[in-house]
Amino acid sequence: MIMEYKNSDKPLMHLFMHIGKLLNDRLRISLDKGGIHFGQARVLTSLMEHGELTQRMIGEGLDIKPATVTNMVKRMEASKLIERRRDVNDDRIIIVTLTVKGKKAAEFALTVMAQIEEDIRSELSRQEIDTLRNPLERIRNVLGGCDPSI
């Protein structure tokens, strides 16, 4: 027997998963044109906003595991997107900054994300956006997420 749902009874999880997949696909395809992936785009745009960050700040601020941050920034350094240096006062701290190539990649990523944001917002009124934001943030929070701190 196939279950029929009224619109308000349809599982929201499936809709969120589908939207997430579509958004990830769109970001991946668009960012690929600039030779970067979404994880790198998040780091690049955070560095663009803050100038420099420690690897720890990147991990904590973007909710990325320390080992993943280490591997990612090593690859980004090899690609000449970022530079890493040890803190002069504490050798354990690694400071990450953008290179010229990294700044161009960050600008590209920001352009891609702004276009996708514009496409999404173009389908919604200001009131619909305001109405959506609070429940979506609560859903994110109940799933264990929070606003990125950087």
Percent pLDDT > 70 in the chain is 97
Residue 15 pLDDT more than 80?
Answer: yes
Q: How many CA atoms lie within 13 A of 103 on its CB side?
A: 7
pLDDT at res. 2 = 64
> If 0-12 CB within 10 Å is exposed, 13-18 middle and 19+ buried, where does residue 26 land?
middle
Domains (range + CATH), the chain: 34-113 (1.10.10.10)
Per-residue pLDDT at 4 exceeds 70: no
Nearest to 120 by CA among 19, 43, 44, 52: 19
The pLDDT tens digits of the residues spanning 52-64 come to: 999 999 999 999 9
User: Does the structure show a pLDDT above 70 at 120?
Assistant: yes
Instruction: Compute the radius of gyration of the chain from its Cα atoms.
Output: 19
d(CA 24, CA 113): 11
C-alpha closest to that of 54 among 102, 103, 94: 94
- Give tens-digit pLDDT for 33-81: 999 999 999 999 999 999 999 999 999 999 999 999 999 999 999 999 9
pLDDT for the residue numbered 1:
56
How many Cβ atoms are within 10 Å of 106's Cβ, its own excluded?
24
Tell me the C-alpha distance between 10 and 121, whole Å. 24
Once rounded to an integer, what is the mean pLDDT over residues 3-29?
88
Model confidence pLDDT, tens digit, residues 68-116: 999 999 999 999 999 999 999 999 999 999 999 999 999 999 999 999 9
Q: In this model, does residue 22 exceed pLDDT 80?
A: yes
- Mark residue 113 as left, alpha or beta (left: phi above 0; alpha: psi -120 to 50; beta: remaining): alpha
